[in-house]
Amino acid sequence: MSEIIGKGTSRREFLKDTGRLAAVSALAAGIAPRAYAGENNTIQLALIGCGGRGTGAAANAMNVKKGPVKLVAMADAFENRLKDSYAGLKGNFKDQVDVPEDRKFLGFDSYRKAMDCLRPGDIVILATPPAFRWVHFTYAIEKKLNVFMEKPVTVDGPTSKRMLALGEQASAKNLKVGVGLMSRHSRALEELVKRVQDGEIGDVILQRGYRMHGPAGFFSSPPKPADISDLCYQVRRFHSFIWASGGNFSDFYIHIIDHLGWIKGEWPVKAMGLGGRHYRQSPEGITFVDQNFDIYSVEYTYADGSKFCFDGRCMENCSSPYASYVHGTKGVAIASKSGDCGLPSSIHKGQDPTRQNRVWESRIPDDQRDPYQNEWNDLVDAIRADKPYNETKYGVECSLVTSMGRMSAHTGQEITFEQMLNCPHEMAPGLDKLTMDSPAPLQPDANGRYPVPQPGIVKDREY
């Protein structure tokens, strides 16, 4: 699969080829067997990865109003996460959760057992750390399952090529694939994209994105306790390790990168980034051993020379802007007022997005205001109506562009789309053969510290 796009692939050839393959797959889909729920009209779910986001996705799935949806299998590497997820979902969706003990699976091979409980045309939720996405997606396609996968979907070049090829296989089998980039299902952003691309703010010349707040998730990690392996520690605290998640840059910042690229109508062609590690101790004096920078600043450049500047920070007691803006020759738009895609979106005359200058603001019905629910409504509708539906391609491209900015900051080099796509460093090869006894993809030094990016010293890979 990874050889379908060769080592010398250019961005233009890459986009042209994936478009051609998509067209071929669409023709194939027209003659492929229909992939929809069984005769009893109930769509069955399997949840792979029972953390907070996976549990939330399962809840959104069972909240879909168009026909019955039932959770029948769950899988995770860690028993406590599966138990907590099950208890929460069962408490809120009693009649829709049918997961007896013999359909609760643990371990790195548990994804297979959970998917084996489904029928062709059911849905599997892939919500483990993104390093495992290609492994689980491969098996889902083999089982002819529709898929909802969380973002990011890749963290490096080799797995990006692999996932693009898998996406084409899914289309050829008429499988429906949703990706958890929920901004694409924000009704406000849908309208803003149309207005901007219709020229309401003129030519887009600058975009700005900010996500700044205190440490969140598993952004930082203390030394590994003695009672857990390096592998399990890194998977459990996946935000701290680039191989597992792309680090906090990929996991936290991808939504703003996604919707600003969507508004522009293309992806940036290169990135120049910087960042640094500052406060690497807890208030109690514990030294953190994760791989993340505390701050990132990336200038992305589009093919026409226009810029997109993104700033991220995870520090306590600092200002905390968390929003996105689009500047054009005729005006400015607020894409996300607060958060990853927070309502309302708006357009303003001039370059000062004040209330006095506002010329349009989104108005969304209450039942369409939640983009997390919208993405599930759209996916299930596509399954039941057998509509073409595959978000893999832009999910991979967005993940790649996010990794491009991260790699630039981590190496101190300008990184192009082509360089990121063709970078040979696969951070965690062989994950399809992983067991609980496998060595971790990242090894600590004698002091228990993991390698961190060294801009200007290590320039061809991130660590």
Statement: residue 28 has pLDDT above 50? no
pLDDT on residue 286: 84
Q: Mean pLDDT across the stretch 15-29?
A: 41
Nearest to 50 by CA among 102, 91, 92, 110: 110
Give the confidence band of 281 by pLDDT, cuts at 50, 70, 90: confident
pLDDT on residue 3: 30
pLDDT on residue 448: 86
Give the tens place of pLDDT for each residue, 36-95. 554 579 999 999 999 999 999 999 999 999 899 999 999 999 999 999 999 999 999 999
Under 8 Å between Cβ of 348 and 330: no
Beta bridge partners of 309: 208, 299
pLDDT on residue 119: 98
pLDDT on residue 29: 38
pLDDT on residue 416: 98
Under 8 Å between Cβ of 444 and 389: no
271: alpha, beta or left, given left = phi > 0 and alpha = psi -120 to 50? beta
Kindly write down the DSSP assignment for every residue of 110-158, as one continuous string. Answer: HHHHHHTTS-TT-EEEE-S-GGGHHHHHHHHHHTT-EEEEPSP--SSHH
Q: Mean pLDDT across the stretch 187-203?
A: 98
Domains belonging to the chain, first-starting first, are: 11-183+372-390 (3.40.50.720), 184-369+401-422 (3.30.360.10)
Give the confidence band of 105 by pLDDT, cuts at 50, 70, 90: very high
Statement: residue 462 has pLDDT above 90? yes
Q: Report residue 246 as tokens.
A: 């792309």
Statement: residue 34 has pLDDT above 80? no
pLDDT on residue 37: 52
CB atoms near residue 444 (< 10 Å): 16
Give the tens place of pLDDT for each residue, 141-161. 999 999 999 999 999 999 999
Q: Report residue 209 as tokens.
A: 């994105």
Q: Mean pLDDT across the stretch 169-174?
A: 98
% of the chain exceeding 70 in pLDDT: 92
Q: Which residue has the tokens 């960042």?
A: 275
What is the 3 state secondary structure string of 250-293? Answer: HHHHHHHHHHHHHHHCCCCCEEEEEEECCCCECCCCCECCCCCC
Task: Give the chain's mean pLDDT.
Answer: 92
